Structures are given as structure tokens and as C-alpha cells.
Structure 1
Amino acid sequence: MSGNVFSSLTTGLGSWPGTDVREAASIVLGELPALPHVVELPARGLGADTIGRTGALMVDVELDVRTSGYRVAQRKSLAGRRAEDLLHFDLDVLEELWETGGFAATHRVLKVQAAGPFTMAAQVELRSAHRVLTDRGAVRDFAGSLTEGLRQHCAELRSRLGVDIVVQLDEPSLPAVLAGSLSGVTRLDPVRAIPEPEALELLDSVLVGVGVPTVVHCCGADVPLELIRRSNADAAAIDVALLTAGDLDAVGEFLQAGKTLLLGLVPSVAPERIPTWREVAAPAVTLIDRLGFPRSVLATQVSVTPACGLAGATPEWSRHALELAGNVADAFQDAPDSL
């Protein structure tokens, strides 16, 4: 793949409402010709959520479920089998649609999503009930398992569909990991922060190891854009509404580094009044103007997404959100200086 495959397009961030994977995949393939993604339907329950689904991708790591959440298991559990079955079913449906819907002739790249190494280490427990994050050796093992699992996942999709694959690492827990603000089993057992140099090294081990273009997605507040800029990620996906004045320098340096911002501009749930595409585009235009960049940057280094996943939206709004995002991206491409 030449250039930055994430630049100047519309894509979704992964999750979708409902439980019908065939309908969801059909909509995503139809609405996102430049960069469709493998859909995630967490409403199906256990194993369909981000953590369970990522666990199904990992190699030589098995997860089970306790009342507190996911926990490392000694052997494959019912929860693990369910997660694997859901994933395999989704890929079978995707392959069928790819062949019968004519998408093979028009689609060249597909995006897959998985929880990143820090979010997995933060949200999964060891058998001792402590977070994986509390054991640096276990964190490294998790990162290695995730890397190999993603490599195999990408290879399978390339074989099935004949397309290039890109990977999105979802890291909602990364800010808390860096800040050391995650709770331990007790107040006397805090979870230490991971220093940025160590975090950067671990993140890069996954980003480089998967062997395909990558984007790091963090749609919460306090996104560590400086860390992502220094990493091997090609792009960062963020919610533009959560940026503060203190984030501007980091955003500017990110763009100066030649990387792409996937800006979450479209609301993830339907607002009381449906915005026009110009209203949706306005925060991105304002951001670029404040940074002093030419608006042509909108056409070369900015892509458009919903603010976060669409699992909490209605099916009607989810489709409309992608249409709005597409209209904004087209305007960025066609006439950014006139916005």
C-alpha cells in the first residue's frame, strides 16, 4: 500500500447496533467504499464485546469470565469458545457478502479492530484477580500474543478476500494506564503507572509486529497524542469534541509529523436536532484554522469518523452517521478552502 492508507476518507470505528451481522456488514460495505471495517456487534452479549473478541484473536491465551470481568484461564472456556464462534461466523458472512455483493471489484482495503495491549492488560485479570497490568512480564506476554493473533487474523482475511488489511488498536484505557489512575484489588494495592518510554516500546512492538498500517484509537479525554506521534502508528483516531486548548500543540505536532488524524466529528447517537454536514465539519475547520495550517490539510491528513463506536445508536442513525461522515469527507476533498 502506498502513502498513508488512512488519509482523506470516511470510515467507522467498529461497533454497530443490533445483532444481525449480515445486515450490519452489508451497510458498512455499502457506505464505506474506501475503508470498510469488520463489524462488531456487542449487543450479542458475552464474547462479542471488544475484550472478549480480542481475546478470541490472541494466541496461547485463554479468557474466562468472572463477576468482575474477564480473567486469564488455564484452558479454553465456554466464554472463549463463544467468542471464537462469533468471530468465525462473522468472517464467513463477510466473505459471502464480499463474493456475492460485488464488493471484491470495488474494495481494496479492509480495517480490523482489536483492543490494544494496554487496554487488554488493564481490563483482564490474572488468575490472582489482579489486573494483568500489575505484572510487567504478563503485559509483555499479552502484547506478544496479541501481535501474533493479529498477524494471523490479517493473513486469514487477505486469503479469504484478496485485499490489503489495516489494523485499528482501540486503547480507551491508555490514558489511565499512563496516569496510574486504575484501581487495584484494594486501596493498599495500587496499579502503578507505566512510564512513557516503556509504554512506547511496548506499543511499537505491536504496531511494527502486525506488519500492516495501523491507527491507534482513543476516543476519551487526555489522549496521549504525543506518545502516538512518536510511535510507529500511521494515524490516530480521536473525538474532536473532547480536545482542549491544552491539546492544540500536540495536534499540530502530530500533523507536522505527516500523520493522519481520524477525527470523530459525527455524534455517536442521534442528537435532538440532526445537524447538517456543514455543522458537522465546522469543528475540524476551526481546529485547522486555530493551528494555522492551510485548509488543504483537511484534504490530505484528515479523515472523518463518528465520534466513537455506534453500538449505542439506532440502526437508522448509524446509517445516517456514515452518510454524514461521507458528505463531510467529500467536502474536505473537493473544496476545503470554501468551508
Structure 2
Amino acid sequence: MSVLATGIGSMPGDDTSGEGYREAVRTVLGELAEHAYVPEMPGRGPAATMTGRALAVVEGLDADLQPSGWRLTGGSGSPGIDHRRTRSLLAQDLDALEELGQGYAGVVKLQVTGPWTLAATVEKPRGALVLGDHGARRDLAEALAEGVRAHVRDVRRRMPAAASLVVQLDEPALPSVLAGAVPTASGFSRHRTVHPPEASALLEQVVAAIVAEDAEAWVHSCAAGTPLSLLRGAGVRGLLVDVDRLTAADHDVLAEALEAGETVVLGVVPATDPHGPGGPDSPDSAVADTRLTERVARWLDMLGLDPTIGGLGVSPACGLAGASPAWSRRALQLSRTVADNLANLG
């Protein structure tokens, strides 16, 4: 059996000189020789956050940064300084990936904020979240889909021909969107519930754009209540989840996905430095990989899945932006070691 090891996306650091980012790329490529990802470093500021990064990809819409956050400014043609900064930063990061990734022959995973989380974090030109306007959220999803297509083409051009691509849509706000739990600008009320058919339709649009570029669509969410069945129905073929937030129903959906030949990446490695020296997950611990391997093996046994089943993956529970540099490297090492241990069980 082959078990993949990867990471969610974000890495620690606030260095805007570029060298900190280059070191993150070296770490990811060095520790994840088969399933690397394009690192994100949100500590560098708004242009590098999840929302800023997605706006750097979106095509046909401009945005600027307001005290309340990112706001659309209308059509394309006159991006503000903040929007130009997001695009410039992404291009610089991809330059570093292209330079340091020469000779890489594995999978490259890109991370982009999904349409619903983007709609829940970006405002319309006159204020109020895009989420509250049916037409605006449709337009944003269309712009995201077109931008993702161009982004995939750009990364494919930069990386060796042997590298295949995965696009991970980050949707931490999706459960709140479906539950009508996203607050309005005033904070005194909530946006209306988005019903599953519409939620699925916008996701399908972005997923279709990914597939059209010969890439595979995955979704990650650390939030409890993520609608895994809805994601699979929208064409998503990879689910990245935090094991500690799964419900009994989630376990069943993940088992079905694995049995259908899809990818399930279990977030089992702590995403932040473990408390206290010498703990089971501390960098100097010799038992951390064994304990985490046993946890995944028990999960497989609980679901009645054979350890030789394909499509299984291991990762940190969430992004590593809040970890120390030492732990971010150790977390990726643990993910790889646990994946290797599980493969040997087969």
C-alpha cells in the first residue's frame, strides 16, 4: 500500500524579504518528496492571508484593503496598491518555487480559498459581505474559477513536466454558511442560510475549472460540521480533515470515499508545538510516530477498512502558521514517517 504524506498549506514566518519564504519552500520540498505543496506564509500580512492569496488569483475583479478587510472595487482594470501587492507577492513566491523545485517529480498541491469562504470574507464595493448577495457571490465564484484555471496553467509551466497538480480549496466557513451563522457587518444578525443545492452548484463550477486543467480537486476544512457528502457530490475527489473534529457520519463518508478510490488525508499530527518538553509529540520524542501510526491504524480498523486500501494520506491537523519553525519541520517529518509506517503495515 502507498500512503501519501502532505501538509495543509500555511507555514510560520513573517519575513517579507523573501528568504523566509524560500526556506519554507526548501522545507516542504525536502520533507515531502512525493506530495509537496506551495507554501503559504500568512504572517507576512494581509497580502499573504488566505483571502488575500485568493484575490491574487481571481480574474476580472479588483479589490482593495479597508479597515474592515478586503473589499471588491468593481471590474478589472484599475487594481489598488494592496491588490497589486497580493499579485506581486504570489508571483515572487512562484518564482521561488520554480527555482527551488527544479528536478521535483512528485505531486504539487496548490491551495486557494473556496468560493463560499471567499464570499464570507470579502465585501462588495459599497460594503456588506458578498455572501449576502446572490448575484455577487455567483460573479465572485466565476472570477475565482477563471483565475484558478490561469493559476494552474502558470504553476504547470513553472514546474517540471513530471509533476502532477492538485488544487486544494480551503472552505473553513462552509459549515457556518450552510447554518446561517455568518454575522452581518453590524454583528447583530446573521446572513441567511445558503441551501445545499446552491452551495454545491458554486463549488461544482470551481471544481470543473480545476478538472478542465487536468488537475485534481480536493477540499480542506478544519471546521466541525463540514458537509463531506456535499463536497463529494460536487466532484471533489480529495478530502483533508482534522480527525479530532469528525462525527460518526463523517467517518462513514470518508470510508465510502476511500472505497471509491478517492483520497482521504487524515490530519493527525499536531499543528502547533506540543505543550511541555518530552511529551509524546515533542520533537525529541521517539514514540510520537508510533503513537500516531497506531491511531490511524485503529481508525481503519474501526471502519473495517483493510490497511492496504489506497488513497489514504496523513498530514498535520491544520495549517502550520502558528507553529515554531522547528515544529513545522518536525510535523512534516512525522507525517511522512507515519505514512511510511502505515504503508509497511500492508
On whether the aligned pair clears a TM of 0.5, the verdict is yes
Is the 2:314–2:339 Cα contact (8 Å) retained in structure 1? Answer: yes
Is the 1:305–1:322 Cα contact (8 Å) retained in structure 2? Answer: yes
1:135 matched to 2:133? The reply is yes
TM-score, normalized by length of structure 1? Answer: 0.91
User: How far apart in 2 are the matches of 1:219 and 1:311?
Assistant: 14
User: How far apart in 1 are the matches of 2:24 and 2:272?
Assistant: 16
Map 1:71-220 to 2 at 5 A.
71-74=71-74, 75-99=78-102, 104=103, 106-162=104-160, 163-186=163-186, 190-210=190-210, 211=212, 212-220=215-223
1:295 matched to 2:293? The reply is no
User: How far apart in 2 are the matches of 1:241 and 1:53?
Assistant: 27
User: How far apart in 2 are the matches of 1:94 and 1:256?
Assistant: 34
Is the 1:22–1:93 Cα contact (8 Å) retained in structure 2? Answer: yes
Give a deviation string over 1:124-170, Cα, whole Å, max 9, x none: 11123211011111111111111111111111111122332210000
1:178 is aligned with what amino acid?
Answer: L
Match of 2:29 in 1: 29
Match of 1:316 in 2: 326
Partner SS for 1:96: helix
Is the 1:240–1:283 Cα contact (8 Å) retained in structure 2? Answer: no
User: How far apart in 2 are the matches of 1:192 and 1:35?
Assistant: 38
Is the 1:43–1:311 Cα contact (8 Å) retained in structure 2? Answer: yes
User: How far apart in 2 are the matches of 1:248 and 1:160?
Assistant: 38
Match of 2:316 in 1: 306
1:238 matched to 2:241? The reply is yes
Cα RMSD of the aligned pairs, angstroms, is 1.6
Aligned-residue offset at 1:258: 2.9
> Which of 310, 320, 331 lines up with 2:341 in the alignment?
331
How many percent of aligned residue pairs carry the same amino acid?
Answer: 41
1:58 matched to 2:58? The reply is yes
Aligned-residue offset at 1:79: 1.2
Map 1:215-230 to 2 at 5 A.
215-230=218-233
Aligned-residue offset at 1:246: 4.3
Which 5+ residue runs of structure 2 have no aligned equivalent? 282-287
User: How far apart in 2 are the matches of 1:205 and 1:233?
Assistant: 11
Aligned-residue offset at 1:235: 0.7
Which 5+ residue runs of structure 1 have no aligned equivalent? 1-6
Work out the number of aligned pairs and report it: 323
User: How far apart in 2 are the matches of 1:72 and 1:219?
Assistant: 27
User: How far apart in 1 are the matches of 2:47 and 2:317?
Assistant: 24
Match of 1:3 in 2: none
Residue 201 to residue 26, structure 1, CA distance change in 2 (3 Å): same
